[in-house]
């Protein structure tokens, strides 16, 4: 079932809730520039295994409202708190992909992990998506500036280019078109605003040490967006965490090795 949750004055977030009768809940946070539909291959199978799967469309993306502002990690973490409270969620597993993983980490630090008993980070954009003098593993600033420029000048072409670096395995043209359409459902200003957030000193080194729940880190070794050293830094920074490398995946392991992702999540949650 799908419904809306108001998280801020005049801002409503779209939520998809599958198998709501289960007491084993996973709340999925999508990556940039997609929406909750990117987890189609988790929502197809995990409910069959007894899990309740909830996906949100972050503000500015998918079916959610698309305000002009509010795209920093603090505001997005506050949106998540509002959704968790509105749905009366407790003892959930919070699973975030890419920027969704960064939002999950900020939520754990900013809100003390309210309602969350376990955390899953899937190709998470943390502790820094951008290369820095003290952390030389992220994307170069110029690469992100190119994404922002492309968003304002030819967003469809930018999305096609991003899709080309997203996956390690070969995909059909039909799949590529489907993923491309997910990005087009976002507002152009929201798409650019999140990319600007990566640039504006949005980093999560301090946040990692504030996570106090069991954490599963799933990451493709061929990831060209959030490179594998980011996962190793997450493992070092988060107590009680486990890193599982995906040898045949890039940034899209939720599809490229979907059976393994689903199996690892089910084993982790129990």
Which of the residues are catalytic?
A: 98, 223, 251
Taken in order 234, 235, 239, 244, is the CA torsion positive or negative? positive
First to last CA, the chain: 24
Report the C-alpha gap between 176 and 78 in whole angstroms: 32
- Which residue matches tokens 């469809």? 156
User: Which residues lie below 8 Å from residue 9, measured CB to CB, with a gap of 6+?
Assistant: none
Report the C-alpha gap between 62 and 181 in whole angstroms: 10
User: Which residues lie below 8 Å from residue 44, measured CB to CB, with a gap of 6+?
Assistant: none
- For residue 130, give Cα distances in angstroms to 147, 193, 234, 243: 13, 15, 15, 21
- 76: closest CA among 52, 105, 54? 105
């Amino acid at each position: 079932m799908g419904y809306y949750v108001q998280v801020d004055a005049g801002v409503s977030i779209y939520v998809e809730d599958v198998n709501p009768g289960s007491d084993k809940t996973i709340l999925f946070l999508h990556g940039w520039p997609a929406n909750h539909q990117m987890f189609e291959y988790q929502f197809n199978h995990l409910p069959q295994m007894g899990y309740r799967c909830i996906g949100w469309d972050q503000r500015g993306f998918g079916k959610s409202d698309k305000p002009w502002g509010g795209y920093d990690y603090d505001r997005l973490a506050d949106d998540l708190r509002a959704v968790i409270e509105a749905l009366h969620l407790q003892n959930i597993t919070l699973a975030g992909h890419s920027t969704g993983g960064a939002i999950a980490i900020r939520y754990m630090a900013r809100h003390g992990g309210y309602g969350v008993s376990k955390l899953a980070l899937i190709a998470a954009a943390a502790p820094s998506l951008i290369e820095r003098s003290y952390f030389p593993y992220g994307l170069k600033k110029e690469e992100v500036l190119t994404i922002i420029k492309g968003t304002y000048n030819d967003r469809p072409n930018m999305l096609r280019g991003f899709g080309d670096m997203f996956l390690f395995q070969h995909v059909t043209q039909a799949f590529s078109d489907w993923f491309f359409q997910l990005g087009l459902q976002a507002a152009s200003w929201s798409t650019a605003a999140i990319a600007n957030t990566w640039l504006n000193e949005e980093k999560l080194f301090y946040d990692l040490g504030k996570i106090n729940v069991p954490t599963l880190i799933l990451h493709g070794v061929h990831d060209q967006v959030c490179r594998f050293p980011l996962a190793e830094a997450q493992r070092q920074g988060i107590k009680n965490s486990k890193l599982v490398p995906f040898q045949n995946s890039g940034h899209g392991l939720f599809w490229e090795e979907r059976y393994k992702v689903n199996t690892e999540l089910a084993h982790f949650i129990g």
